[in-house]
Chain A
């Protein structure tokens, strides 16, 4: 478990960081994923740039009626920030963050690093196994031990995306601001995450699931004002009670009219696809109706549309339905 040798610098300005970044020089957030990957010999950058010493992007600011969240915020600071913790519309994000990892990991991990973490698949994390996702020939989970693997999106890789906050943010309609040598660009999370393909590959063999370029830094997460008028919930099902990755998770963001009609709906799923997944069929099933038991039944059927279980993970289909019902029932108690 000795890490390979590398050089290290504390960043002082974003310009100097993006000028230095490339396939051999990586940004370091909290290190909770990157250091573990280096210990396993699965990543071996020659240089690391510590982003935590940058002066900006450590807090929450208002923006366009919504929120701008600095990507260098730790998960612990994010959940405790009054602007986030006291906003009913962001309940799902707070739940997702506090359901993530452990207290120690949340004081270390940054939001940006969380959105960019690599898969937790046991084949992928095993240095002895040359799986497709890290440049090998095939996905061993497809015909192997796939109890924790995906239901949606198909191959070539069946490892689910491990982030909880990403799922909540996708349902909130969030975007990310990326900073590179040529300037900034802002992308909706729907466009930031892409299923892994043969063509998109890093020099070390890794197939990414975001369009982030090697010389770009994720600097901010933008939550639109439209989310502010809605209500949100996050339901995560785990094997253990705490400190566990999602088997499945569901994030819901609903705008209800005064008459209780669903005026807008976004539903996102975790643990079931290589990327945080938009459940558009469930959104359509909810739209325009009220949250009657029948409507919830229809949404629960719709949320599993298109799922294709592997040999050992069909249980996740039932879990998805249950998690969506649980989320929607938060608003039908009265």
Chain B
């Protein structure tokens, strides 16, 4: 069987984002970040560096965090994509979002969608993380404002809220 090359012209893709199927027509060179923001209007996922150096573009792919800026959209077919827009349940904020508000887990807020997405994924894998586990799990998200102590407090508080809701 020979390789089935698609492109360089636009190809139709079906992307499963926040539980919904989206059809787009894009060239293979497009990153998931550019498709989310420019084709689908999902601008909650931020473009910081575009080079895998800041974490502002963090999304969840099949349960694991990834940088949308270095992910080709064409390689996301058949994968479960969760963006910051898919974290709240309707109008009900996710406990991580509520904790970031309550504990001032940000200053300018630019890095916050990425921070929240990383924290949600971290707590899904490790519901009761130690301080070291929080630091390691959040290590791929830079905050230029340096809100780190408040970010760690927010994640810890969210873990506690989620444990109470479970129990």
Q: Which residues of A contact B (CB under 8 A)?
A: 1-13, 16-17, 20, 28, 30-32, 35-36, 38-39, 46-50, 52, 76, 101-105, 107-108, 242-243
Contact = CB atoms under 8 A, between A and B. Distances in A.
Contact of A7 (B2, B28, B136): B28
Contacts of B118: 103-104
B48 to A, nearest CB: 12
Given A1-B50, A32-B52, A104-B55, A9 B6 contact: yes
Contacts of A52: 75
A49 B65 CA distance: 23
A243 B70 contact: no
B152 interface: no
Interface in B67-120: 67, 70-72, 74-75, 118
B74 A31 contact: no
Contact of A105 (B2, B4, B50, B52): B52
B44 interface: no
Contacts of B8: 5-7, 46
A44 to B, nearest CB: 10
B72 A13 contact: no
Contacts of B5: 7-9, 47
Contacts of B50: 1, 39
A293 B26 CA distance: 63
Contact of B28 (A2, A36, A48): A48
Interface string B1-14: 11111111000000
A38 B69 CA distance: 12
A39 B34 CA distance: 13
Nearest to B74: A8
B67 A105 contact: yes
B7 A6 contact: yes
